[in-house]
Amino acid sequence: MPPQPNSHGTALRKHANGVYRPDLPRAYQAVDRDHPAGTKGLSIPTMTVLQQHCAFWDRQVDEGGARVSARAIGLLPPRDNDGRIYPLDTYRGCRELGMSFLLSLAFTWLLHFTLVVPYMTQDNWILHPYLCIHLKNIHRIKHASDTETFDEEGRMYPAKFEQIWETLGAEEVRSYADVRRLVWAKKVVADPIGWFASLTSWTLLWWVARDERGVLGRERVRRCYDGTLFYAIAQQRRAQALAPKLD
């Protein structure tokens, strides 16, 4: 058989214009054709892109004196960029992103109290009593039936990111129907856990990051991968909450 042209690779080079070797994973930057060096001003060479994606839930926050005292004596786990995400961290982070009480509670239960994610990310055989998720091992929860934008080491593939938009045939997620279409296009046979995980993550992203038209733009999706989107949403919601008090 005569050699066949690699049209797939040609399409990737065309759509990933401006990115050097889009087929190579990036460890520290969420790269695409419009941001060949990742998010401007963001440089965290000690964290993979997947770790950056999750770090929003592991950070120091301003808390009331009672809670600070409770943490000091060990009644509550710390929330101080220690590389561990506790159930309370997950719940409060979800609330900061605009999720309802019940939705935040359900997501926290799904991540922590089903025990799978905390156990997969820890270094010991015995489960941590606080059911925390260890950020350094977050790559262990990589599952099938996803877009493959993250690899098994937590790095980001620019070419796979571009394939999201090739699958949708647009530069944005225009409705929840697009969410379902994207998830269904990436399904692997006999992988219900992967199907559910992908549908859940894309549904929540569309829910918290869509605009007033119900559209989730390409740039918002890219910023979701390095986590900067979550900080922007939380800051915007805080500003909106303070606006009436300043009037």
Q: Report the alpha-carbon distance of residue 55 to residue 57 in Å, rounded.
A: 5
pLDDT at residue number 65:
41
Domain positions in the chain are: 21-37+49-246
Q: Which residues pair with 134 in a beta bridge?
A: 84
Q: Is 50 exposed, middle or buried (0-12, 13-18, 19+ CB in 10 A)?
A: buried
Which residues of the chain are modeled with pLDDT < 70? 1-17, 60-80, 246-247
Give CA–CA dist 86/77, Å, rounded: 7
CB 118 within 8 A of CB 131: yes
For residue 156, the 8-state DSSP code is: B
Across the chain, what does the average pLDDT equal?
A: 88
For residue 180, report the phi and psi dihedrals to the nearest 5 degrees.
-65, -40
The per-residue pLDDT for range 95-138, each reduced to its tens digit, is 999 999 999 999 999 999 999 999 999 999 999 999 999 999 99
Residue 17's pLDDT is 60
CA 160 to chain centre: 15
Q: Taking Cα atoms as reference points, which of 235, 227, 217, 167 lies closest to residue 30?
A: 227
Contact 92, 123 (CB under 8 A): no
Supply the pLDDT for residue 72: 40
Rounded CA separation 193/215 (Å) = 27
Q: 């214009």: which residue's tokens?
A: 17
Q: What is the pLDDT of residue 4?
A: 42
Task: Return the pLDDT at 98.
Answer: 97
The rounded distance, in Å, linking the Cα atoms of 130 and 61 is 19
Contacts of 100 (CB under 8 A, 6+ apart): none
pLDDT at 243: 79
